[in-house]
Chains A and B, each alone.
Chain A
Amino acid sequence: MTGREGKQAYPVARVGDFGEADRLVVQVKNVEIGLFKVGNDYYAWRNLCPHAAAPICAGTVCGTMLPSGVYEHEFGREGEIVRCPWHNWEFDLRTGELLADPSVKLRGFELVREGEELHLLL
């Protein structure tokens, strides 16, 4: 099937495939891609940290300390962050941005849900 802007749509998973998992790793055209479930939304990020080429999908999906006043610690955003397994860089799973420097981003792919099917546009 051909998706938007002439991109090819690849059926990569069914919603039910996640079970209790927060991510699935799939391969499309020899590229490893992580599918992440954040709340009721799904996102696709290349399984490669832009810093040192770590397999980002092996990282922890977690929350983090929110921007705060000095000496305050407020935890939030549970399930919205992936923490790289190598150097602990935190990426926003909704935008792909590095929390410490939003100019650094994961490489993302468009993912569309058709009923129970998730299609990756490439």
Chain B
Amino acid sequence: MSDNRPTMIDTDVHNSMTGKQDLLPYLPKAYHQAWLAYGAGYGGSYLGTGAHSVTRRDARPDGGGPPASDPNYVIRHHLAPYGIDYAILTGSGILGISLVSDPDYGNVIARAYNDWLADTWLKASPRYKGSILINHSDPQAAVQEIERMGPHPDMVQVIMCSGSRNLFGQRMFHPIYEAAERHGLPVAIHPGTEGRGNAGPPTPSGHPTRYFEWHNIIPINYMSHVNSLVCEGVFEKFPELKFVAIEGGFAWLPHLMWRMDKNYKGLRDQVPWLKCKPSEYIRGHILLTTQPIEEPDDPAHLGQILDMIGGDHMIMYSSDYPHWDFDNPKVALRSIRRELRQRIFADNAIQLYGLSEKPGEGASV
């Protein structure tokens, strides 16, 4: 194996603007006032006691500004100390633009954000790889954005929020998958918007009461989307498409696979376009990131769950830097068998994102 092969790739790093004004040079003048007044505009988060902060208190850049708003500081504070070769950037406080009621607003913000990302973070260091933000509520515009940004050499995937009014397997979203597949880009979803903006409530029985309760139950939305993607035949229609489920956990996967496979035996005729068991589509097309990794009382149980999933190629390390539920790569995966750990830390992301060499010049600060 080449010495120049990456040894760690962090698949969820939340690059932030220093402030709303950062986006103005990339935003049509007509939207400046609205952006400064409303920001991404998809509503506040669920309440806690006020003692909790979503961002780590130790992650404020030494030069000022919000956590993860300085690309050089993120290298010094996060990438370099942990030996992270690449960070896949997932944005901060902006993913929910799919959930504002005005689709034109969501579209222009997505475009401006992508231009800002390409102009700042992606130029700051070859360690940074971008995710093309789309407004999934307007699939036609989302396709245009994928066409526009897809050829950028440092954009490695499409990203959209997991909060939605519709399940992601449904046909209205298929043009997004067609465009992503054509550009060789995985489509990633990221949580945090469940129940916010005009998304449906985070559970079919309505809204959780507090942030704690809301955060616990995010995986049901992920289960719903994965279930939908498989049942609607998305991976039959787009056989090269990869779908990345960021920050939604993975311990639920055996349950979903078993339940889908069992039902498929009796209810196959409702989805005659499926040519193999649902779990095989999941193994073939879904990747999941580790953070916030499940922490069973007996750490060995985590390895057992991974064995039940039966897809060592499916899981990728993520830290969620600079958020509070950060997973330290030196600690979080210790209970996982060594060869799988290496796949999770680097190999699976190398393969998915085509990052087979360590970053070139300018990678260190």
Q: Which A positions have Cβ atoms within 8 angstroms of B?
A: 51, 64-74, 84, 87-90, 98-101, 104
Cross-chain contact A67 with B275 (CB below 8 angstroms): yes
Could you show 12 A-B contacts with beta carbons less than 8 Å apart?
Answer: A64-B269, A65-B268, A67-B272, A71-B171, A71-B233, A71-B273, A73-B272, A84-B266, A87-B265, A87-B266, A89-B265, A100-B264
Cross-chain contact B232 with A99 (CB below 8 angstroms): no
Least CB distance from B223 to A in Å reads 21
Report how many residues on chain B are interfacial, defined by Cβ distance under 8 Å: 16
Given contacts A71-B171, A71-B233, A101-B277, contact A66 B272 (CB under 8 A): yes
Given contacts A88-B267, A89-B266, contact A74 B273 (CB under 8 A): no
Least CB distance from A59 to B in Å reads 11
Cross-chain contact A100 with B265 (CB below 8 angstroms): yes
Cross-chain contact A51 with B265 (CB below 8 angstroms): yes
Who on chain A is nearest to B266 by CB? A88
A100 to B271, alpha carbons, bound, how many Å?
11
Main secondary structure of the interface of B (DSSP, over half): helix
A75 to B256, alpha carbons, bound, how many Å?
29
A89 to B233, alpha carbons, bound, how many Å?
21
Residue in B233, B266, B277 whose CB lies within 8 Å of A70: B233
Residues of A within 8 A of B268 (CB): 65, 90, 99-100
B20: Cβ under 8 A from any A Cβ:
no
B312: Cβ under 8 A from any A Cβ:
no
Residues of A within 8 A of B266 (CB): 84, 87-90, 100
B236: Cβ under 8 A from any A Cβ:
yes
In B184-243, the 8 Å CB interface with A consists of 232-233, 236-237
- State the 6 A-B residue pairs at the shortest beta-carbon distance, nearest first: A88-B266, A70-B233, A65-B272, A65-B269, A70-B273, A100-B265
Who on chain A is nearest to B171 by CB? A71
A21 to B237, alpha carbons, bound, how many Å?
41
